[in-house]
Structure 1
Amino acid sequence: MDNSPYLLTDKQLIEVLCMTQSPTAVHVSEDAVIQAANDAMINVWGKDRSVIGKSLADALPELKGQPFIDMFKRVWNEGITFTGTDTPANLVVNGELQTFYFDFEYKPIKDGNGKTYAILHTANDVTERYLGRHREQHLIEELTATNEELTAANEEVRASNEELAAINEELQAITEELRLSEEFLQNANNELSASENRFRQLIAQAPVGICLIGAHDFMVQEVNNAYLQLVGRPREFFEGRTIWQIVPEAEQTYAPIMNGVIETGIAYAANEHRLILSRAGADEEVLVNFVYEPILGQDGQVSAIMVLAIEVTDMVTARKKIEQAEERSRLAVDAAGIGIFDLDLQTGIPVVSGKFNEIFDLDSPPGKDTIEPLIHPDDRQTRADAHAEALQSGQLFYEARLWHQNGPIRWVRAQGKVFYKSDNAPDRILGTVLDITAYKELQQQKDDFISIASHELKTPITSLKASLQLMDRIKDKSEQTMIPKLIMQSRKSVERVSALVEDLLNVSRLQQSDIRLNKSHFILSQLVNAVANPISIIAKHKIIITGNLELQVYADEHRIDQVLTNFLNNAVKYAPSSETIEVDIHTAEDYVTVSVTDYGPGIPFEKQQHLFDRYYRVDPSGHQGSGLGLGLYICEEIITRHNGSIGVNSVEGKGSTFWFRLPL
């Protein structure tokens, strides 16, 4: 079966149906605008195809004053059908106004609401038939009069042999005309038969399934091979059967629809309609596009239903697969945060995706000169050079900053491939853009960390190296009293290096999930005291512990020790003028909250949200203290692994409160 997705349009169907020798035209609107007309109708009008698209009055001005234009208006406005037999019409043919006689029909074609949307115009030129009949009638009347004269005046008839001879010749002429009329009718019948055969051939060869069904008995009158293949039945199975005997599985759904078309005379069409057909002995679900088209008889009633159907199962399946693939691709691109562009190298105008507009903060599709002003001035030449290089290499790549007047600078990476015309001239660039701001920030953090780590490790190592050099110099001299001091200094340097290395190891373990919690029951206030005492002695700060001092928790004591030590050391480091540091332990619902409060300078609001980020330091210059910016990051990871939460509350000039919460 031909599964071509091509379907005839309404216009094509009209053109196909108008490919008959019978003069046929289709008009629209109250002015009877000629929408379509076959060659036979054009010849009847004595015009050429330039009349297509004109109103009837403009195309055939000689019809003004004749009843036909008004008939068309009534057909359009009232939805009635006009027919006529032996109707005279004055037409200009070959430049001469002549009178012709027609059998015609003006039929309204209506939509589902009963509103006329077209007029089907058919006309047969019966001038010869009309004139022949009238000549025949005229001659019969003359013969009748002559016979009466012969009966009344037999003597006069005998005296008028010459006149009778003339009349006899006229009779012979009439006989010849009758013979010619008979031949004409025979030729017309032959032409009609040929036209019917052509129509049947058209049905048989059509790639669309066609079945002609009687409106009164539902007997199948004509069926083509495409329809046989669609329903999975042999041709002999159709002989002497109604359509519902042939496809009983379709009767329940489609019989009411066909009955409605017969009753209303209104066609019914459906697209991608699901249908269960019994083919090759098995029920099979297929998708079809079909039309039930009513065929009207001479009495204006529906005499038959022409079914046009084509299976579109494979087409719909393929389309859905394509749609699904496109949707998966779109979701993948959206999930990756990638913007797509298609740059026409001739016009310079790109076609872009929604994500592209989002990255460049555009409210409407970009034009030729939209993108360049958004690029940072220092990177515009980089972009221009990358595009010039792409025309040579076929590959586009560059990274640039976006310059927003009301927002932060962001980085983007553009990649693309050049496509060429048949003459190898560059035609377009298809590519992607990606917001790499986070990546650039991570790179900057890495560079900052390397700088910080180098600086932090260099200081104690330099001190340790100097101490060792001094001890080496005086080991055999009398100034050995300095050795204990140098040893203490060396120990502190080693401890500082060890602390930095421990922080790095903790981060590495956290990232690899190597840190395991060794939980046990312990009294929280006792751990706070153990941490606070040495710090208060060295720093000379007064550390006050309040709250529930008898509360016992179940946690990793060593890790909670790390968190408390970090909180208290930070309070001492960043609030040196705060005489007291308060540690509070209180419970609420099923959690215990431990808070460490200092009364130092506080932390700016815009920096508070970054305090627990890896490698972040409040004072990156290092003026207030040293460190890698890992302490609070490690604290957050420890508390999170305890299914707790951590945070900070701070007001500039009033101090800061760092807290963590653990489940009881």
Structure 2
Amino acid sequence: MTTKQPTFLSYPGEMAGIMRKKDWTNSPLGPPAKWPLSLQTALGIILHSKFPMFIWWGPELRCFYNDAYRPSLGKDGKHPSILGEPAAEAWAEIWPIIYPLIKQVLDGGEATWSEDQLVPIYRNASIEDVYWTFSYSRLNNDEGDPFGILVTCVETTEKVLGLRELKETNNLLQFATEAADLGTWDYDPLTGTFMGNARLKSWFGLGPEHETDLGLAISSIAAKDRQRVIESIEAALDYDRQLPYDLEYTIVHPVTGVETIVLVKGRPFFDENRKAYRFSGTMEDITEKSRTRQLMAESEQNLSNLVEQAPVAMCVLKGPQHIVAIANERMIRLWGKPKKQVMHRPIFDGLPDARGQGLEDLLDKVYATGTRFTAQERPVELLRDGAMETVYQNFVYEPLRDSKGEIEGVIAVTIDVTEQVMARLQLEEAEERARLATEAANLGTFDFNIIGATAITSPRFLEIFDADASTPHAELVNRIHPEDRPIRERAHKEALQTGRLFYEARIIHHGGAISWVRIEGRVIVDKAGTPVRIVGTALDFTEHRELEQKREEMIAIASHELRNPMTSLRLALDLLSVLLEPRDQRLLLEKAQEQVRRLIAMTTELLNVSKITAGELDLKPEIVNLHRVIEDSIATAHAGTRSNLFSITGASDINIRADRFRIEQVLVNLLSNAVKYSPRDSEVIIDVSLNSTDIKVCVTDKGIGIEPDKTAMVFKKFTRVDATRGIEGYGLGLYISEQIMRAHGGQIGVESEKGIGSTFWFTLPR
């Protein structure tokens, strides 16, 4: 059976592709399809993220990383060889630095945060000094135990080196920036001059002059913000509008290109003529705050994107009320509610039908303790299409922590397994019903492996074969009477062709007692259509067999006793019919002769059944022309019947070795049935075909047909599938025909459709 590939391996990107191609067979992690759900989910998150991320997993802290992290490894270094390798080997050069941090997190400590830390690594064919801002946070396995580390990191080498260079080349500017918390400015609208303190001038790259032109300062504002600042100044200086001057914008240092994000607040002053004569205010450096806010917004957006694109139903619940902050479409479909009904409100307000099922307590506990909760096949009642419906879910409640490690919500990951659970329950119910039915019928069951010639048997099966659980399969076969073992072998060969196993045989018990067993089964094939197993039942029908044998003996005795006097009576009636002339006497004699004929026919069939049952159906094979046998059979079947049309099609001039009398007996029976059950003057077609091993004869009529569920019964003794139509018959002809074909090494069967007609066929070996 092919194992389905985990969804995260189908993601686009370099690392997902490398993971797909990597042979994990010899890795302690095993094939990805068997990796824990927690690891698969974490890998799905990092592979989708544009933020550099790294994972160490398991006792050996095996390495995984995403495409965003890949550039930090440089060329001719660790990529891609460290994928799936133990951390101590992959990061040997920095192991003394990072292992204490890893151990701290795995031992239950809080997540770490390191900013602009020097961590040299081997890349680009050498050890390089690399600066990082990074965080280590714990990853739990499916059981909720610490089992790995998630690393979110940004390489800050360029930033650190740039700041170092800036500090070395412009100490005065750096000192002025640190000495004052705020920049102050004062603008004279009448002269257009602009003044500011040293901190402000350092942001704008202005010289030490006491005053400068406002246009020069505005030229240092980032182009994307410049027009907005000009319009805000004009609006604030308009006496009639006097809009508040409170805005953020970016200053780009004209020399260094360093960007500073500032929060600016100002107030204009107007004279008695409503003319602005002064405009002053403060300026705060909010670069770090803005970047932090931006990172948080990006982090929130990344989380939202990860949830939306997750391959499973997923949502984020915020706060102690579990407000639905994010939910992907899979989760919305699982809830069965309109999106607007559940979003941005407490989960159980949007899903009132889920209340009172213990889910509230689970979420409260995860939010309060930070301990993950995992459930398998948990039933949940949900209102869908106006009715309560039970759905089965595998889900994980994972605490969501902020940058300080404080719990701010719960991440829920859910897989709907209702179909799988219901299928399993139905299968278990069906197996239980089958078991009860088997026990009620006193049947033994078996499952026979064709390739290995071994069998799994029920206690009743072993009881029927007078064996115990330790008895080998070959010994079970040896319990079959030696004379009946060929019957079993033929039945098994036929089963491989027909898909059905059936035979009856005698079982020899340890004390010498004989019992009769009926074996029935069905052949199971693999995907290639090759038979691999036979499953079936065994029934001890000894008592029934003995009763049937007594009935056959009585029939045989009665048939023999009746045949001789009836033959004499028929001869006497034949002589009387010649001697007597009066019409009324002749009519009575004809009726008497007809009744005698019917008695002789019935006695003949009973004698045939008796011979078949006793195994005394002797054959006298000879070389005969099949076409001539068919013509003679048509003549016999046609005599004294209505004028049906008989057509012979297919192969002709075929010689066969068979008992002519018995083959004609079968053909006459099939043709007579075709005439009896067909409309007057309808066509009966006899078709002959052959292949490399068999000759096949088909008799097709356009008669009343047979119900599909009755076709298997037509070859049983004393069976008539349509006895209510007043058509003569004893239900023995087809049974006798089947036994004749078996004796010839052939087969017989029927294909029929009610109201359309039937095709009875038989085969003979070439």
- TM-score band by shorter chain is 0.5 to 0.7
* Aligned residues of 1:288 and 1:309 also touching (Cα < 8 A): no
SS in 2 for 1:18: helix
* CA distance, structure 2, for counterparts of residue 140 and residue 363 of structure 1: 97
Q: Does residue 119 of structure 2 align to residue 89 of structure 1?
A: yes
Deviation at 1:259, TM superposition (A): 1.5
SS in 2 for 1:330: helix
* From 100, 110, 133, the counterpart of 2:130: 100
Deviation at 1:23, TM superposition (A): 3.1
* Aligned residues of 1:56 and 1:69 also touching (Cα < 8 A): no
Match in the other structure for 1:643: none
Where do 1:30-179 residues align within 5 Å? 30-34=59-63, 36-41=64-69, 43-45=71-73, 46-64=77-95, 66-78=96-108, 80-110=110-140, 115-141=145-171, 175-176=255-256, 178=258
* CA distance, structure 2, for counterparts of residue 47 and residue 86 of structure 1: 22
Match in the other structure for 1:295: 400
* Aligned residues of 1:213 and 1:305 also touching (Cα < 8 A): yes
Alpha carbons of structure 1 residues 215 and 405: separation in structure 2 relative to 1, 3 Å: same
* CA distance, structure 1, for counterparts of residue 383 and residue 526 of structure 2: 51
* Aligned residues of 2:382 and 2:391 also touching (Cα < 8 A): no
Where do 1:571-586 residues align within 5 Å? none
The C-alpha deviation readout for 1:140-164, integer Å capped at 9, x for no partner, is: 338789xxxxxxxxxxxxxxxxxxx
The C-alpha deviation readout for 1:360-396, integer Å capped at 9, x for no partner, is: 4666598774643444444433322332344455543
Q: Does residue 51 of structure 2 align to residue 22 of structure 1?
A: yes
Match in the other structure for 2:653: none
- Give the unaligned 5+ runs of structure 2: 1-5, 9-36, 176-251, 263-286, 562-766
The C-alpha deviation readout for 1:160-183, integer Å capped at 9, x for no partner, is: xxxxxxxxxxxx99944636999x
1:100 maps to a residue whose letter is V
Where do 1:373-522 residues align within 5 Å? 373-392=478-497, 394-403=499-508, 405=510, 409-418=514-523, 426-440=531-545, 442=547
Alpha carbons of structure 1 residues 225 and 74: separation in structure 2 relative to 1, 3 Å: closer
Q: Does residue 359 of structure 2 align to residue 254 of structure 1?
A: yes
Match in the other structure for 1:499: none
Deviation at 1:267, TM superposition (A): 2.0
Alpha carbons of structure 1 residues 399 and 231: separation in structure 2 relative to 1, 3 Å: closer
Deviation at 1:298, TM superposition (A): 0.7
* Aligned residues of 2:525 and 2:532 also touching (Cα < 8 A): yes
Match in the other structure for 2:324: 220
Alpha carbons of structure 1 residues 412 and 97: separation in structure 2 relative to 1, 3 Å: farther
Higher relative contact order (CA 8 A, sep 6+): 1
Deviation at 1:354, TM superposition (A): 5.6
The C-alpha deviation readout for 1:285-312, integer Å capped at 9, x for no partner, is: 4324243222111111212212334555
Match in the other structure for 2:642: none
Match in the other structure for 2:276: none
* CA distance, structure 1, for counterparts of residue 454 and residue 505 of structure 2: 20
* Aligned residues of 1:136 and 1:174 also touching (Cα < 8 A): no
The C-alpha deviation readout for 1:324-345, integer Å capped at 9, x for no partner, is: 2232122212322333444444
2:91 maps to a residue whose letter is L
Deviation at 1:406, TM superposition (A): 7.2
Deviation at 1:56, TM superposition (A): 0.6
2:361 maps to a residue whose letter is P
Match in the other structure for 1:304: 409
The C-alpha deviation readout for 1:445-483, integer Å capped at 9, x for no partner, is: 7789999x99xxx9xxxxxxxxxxxxxxxxxxxxxxxxx
* CA distance, structure 2, for counterparts of residue 365 and residue 199 of structure 1: 61
RMSD: 4.7
Alpha carbons of structure 1 residues 342 and 258: separation in structure 2 relative to 1, 3 Å: same
Match in the other structure for 1:372: 477
SS in 2 for 1:212: strand
* CA distance, structure 2, for counterparts of residue 422 and residue 218 of structure 1: 49
* Aligned residues of 1:82 and 1:107 also touching (Cα < 8 A): yes
SS in 1 for 2:434: helix
* Aligned residues of 2:465 and 2:509 also touching (Cα < 8 A): no
Alpha carbons of structure 1 residues 69 and 42: separation in structure 2 relative to 1, 3 Å: farther
Alpha carbons of structure 1 residues 359 and 101: separation in structure 2 relative to 1, 3 Å: farther
Aligned residue pair count: 420
Q: Does residue 43 of structure 2 align to residue 12 of structure 1?
A: no
Deviation at 1:103, TM superposition (A): 2.2
Match in the other structure for 1:235: 339
* Aligned residues of 1:339 and 1:355 also touching (Cα < 8 A): yes
Q: TM-score, normalised to structure 2's length? A: 0.46
Deviation at 1:111, TM superposition (A): 6.7
* Aligned residues of 1:83 and 1:105 also touching (Cα < 8 A): yes
SS in 2 for 1:67: helix
SS in 1 for 2:131: strand
The C-alpha deviation readout for 1:485-506, integer Å capped at 9, x for no partner, is: xxxxxxxxxxxxxxxxxxxxxx
Q: TM-score, normalised to structure 1's length? A: 0.52
The C-alpha deviation readout for 1:17-66, integer Å capped at 9, x for no partner, is: 122123334334454233x43344455455345534432112233234x2
Deviation at 1:262, TM superposition (A): 0.9
1:131 maps to a residue whose letter is L
Alpha carbons of structure 1 residues 413 and 270: separation in structure 2 relative to 1, 3 Å: same
Greater helix fraction, Structure 1 or Structure 2: 1
Rg (Cα) greater in structure: 1
1:14 maps to a residue whose letter is A
SS in 2 for 1:261: helix
Match in the other structure for 1:286: 390
Deviation at 1:261, TM superposition (A): 0.5
